Amino acid sequence: MATNRTFTMIKPDATQENHIGGILSMIEAGGFRIVALKKTLLTAERAGEFYAVHKERPFYGDLVKYMSSGPIVAAILEKDNAVADFRTLIGATNPAQAEEGTIRKKYAKSIEANAVHGSDSDENAQIEGNFFFGSEEQF
C-alpha cells in the first residue's frame, strides 16, 4: 500500500542556507502534495539508524556525521508514481551529473551535501516516512 507516496529530507546544508522554501516550491510545482512536514535534528545515532543500509559503504561514517551536523526538514510527499517521479525531480546523486531543472542541479554542493534525500522504493518510502511521522501527523 501507499505506493503513491515517497519520503524526502532537505539536508543540513540546504536547510542552513535558507533553501527550504525554494526546494518546497520546486516539490509542489512538480505536482507533489505535502502529507507531513517538520524541521528536526537527527542525532548521530538516529542518522546511523536511518542510513543503516549503507553501513558497509566507505562513505557511511561521513554521511552520518553530515546528516547529524544540523537541522533537516523531513516530509512525506504524495503523487502518482511518487518514488520514481521524485527521483527524477531531484536528479543524480552527484550534482555534476544532475540534469538541468533538477533540485540537486540547483541546490547541491557536492556528492555528499546534495541538498535532498529521496526514497528509492515504495517499501523504503513507507519505512522512512514512519521513522519521522506518526499516523496522526500524516494528512
CB 83 within 8 A of CB 126: no
Residues ≥6 apart with Cβ < 8 Å to 103? 23, 26, 27, 89, 90, 91, 115, 116
Our finding on whether 64 is near ligand RTP (CB under 6 A) is no
In this structure, what C-alpha cell is assigned to residue 56? 558497509
Distance CA 29, CA 112 (A): 25
Concerning whether 117 is annotated as a catalytic residue, the answer is: yes
Our finding on whether 6 is near ligand RTP (CB under 6 A) is no
Our finding on whether 117 is near ligand RTP (CB under 6 A) is yes
CB 95 within 8 A of CB 29: no
Our finding on whether 93 is near ligand RTP (CB under 6 A) is yes
Least Å distance, CB 71 to Mg ion, is 20
Q: Give the residue with the Cβ less far from ligand RTP, 25 or 94.
A: 94
Q: Give the residue with the Cβ less far from ligand RTP, 49 or 139.
A: 49
Residues ≥6 apart with Cβ < 8 Å to 123? none
Catalytic residue among 117, 118, 129, 133: 117
Our finding on whether 12 is near ligand RTP (CB under 6 A) is no
Binding site for ligand RTP (CB under 6 A): 59, 63, 93, 111-112, 114, 117-118, 120
Q: Which residues are catalytic?
A: 117
